[in-house]
Amino acid sequence: MSRTPARGDGLTRAYRGTRVSAAGLDGASGARRWGLRACVRSCLSAIYGKEVLAAGCIRGLFEENVMHIKDIAAGLLASTILLATPALAASVVDPTGNFLPTYTAGPRLADLDVTGFSVNYNSVLQFFTLGATFAGDINPQTPGLYVFGVNTGTGTARPFAAIGEPNVIFNQAIVIQKDGTGVIGTNVLDPANISIAGNILTARISLSLLPSTGFSPTQYGFNLWPRIGLGNNNQITDFAPENATLSVAAVPEPATWSLMLVGFLGVGLAARQGRRRTVLAAARRV
């Protein structure tokens, strides 16, 4: 019995005329294949929420029928282009409870204790996404605010040397309040681009609000310091990163690594199917 698959299944075209019996596939091999299909489908479906595309790609990639290597390559290339996001990211983890010893202006509020800080840059849409987590939920009923310093190339301000942070350099400051409002200098930020959920703060900042003064966007340096008020340095509770700035790095993100691994897997499967065709052809000639 031979099976001719429908044209256009997934992202590939099935190879017509191949005499391969689905019933002849080894049961254990089939179980392994379908287990692998489910695993990779789950991984791809989690990337940026593109479940439909991921499902189509995996369905085409793991179809029971023999496929052309060219079709596999085309499908993988298409899925990589559509799924991979042109974004660069960097992050830092900050210990819980490490309030600055110079902080003496108020109580040690958990929502002023940074536990994580990240910077993501989308080079196509040209915006930064700043993310921060804190030791407790952000409470707009208590005092405090968040300052993100940015060095766009001509950063010379080093106002924190006296409190042990001389390498925190900036020439722009993004100030975000606990109520989800914010400014960059005299520019008021769109509240729709600021999100506060529990202990997580996220802000989307257009590159147009942070014009370069010498650095490329991937070289911009960022630092986050919560304050209990705008005044003296003894109101600063924490820095992330400590005595440094954070810049995005030109390295693949987890989603990109996942797609690369799927690509290697597809090439391996294609090679295996090619060997199977060779064996079947040889058997028919005998």
Cα–Cα distances in Å, from 221 out to 70, 90, 147, 211, 212?
43, 11, 14, 13, 11
Q: What is the pLDDT confidence band of residue 19, given thresholds at 50, 70 and 90?
A: very low
Q: What is the pLDDT of residue 156?
A: 86
Q: 17 pLDDT exceeds 90? A: no
Show me where the domains of the chain are located. 22-84+253-285, 87-235
Cα–Cα distances in Å, from 17 out to 8, 21, 42, 67, 279?
15, 12, 32, 11, 16
- pLDDT tens profile 70-128: 555 555 555 554 445 556 899 999 999 999 999 999 999 999 999 999 999 999 999 99
Q: What is the pLDDT of residue 2?
A: 45
Grouping H, G, I as helix, E, B as strand and the rest as coil, residue 206 is strand
Q: 129 pLDDT exceeds 80? A: yes
Work out the angle at residue 84's Cα, subtended by the Cα atoms of residues 83 and 90, and round it to the nearest 5 degrees.
Answer: 140
Q: Where are the alpha helices (DSSP H) in the chain?
A: 27-45, 51-61, 69-83, 254-285
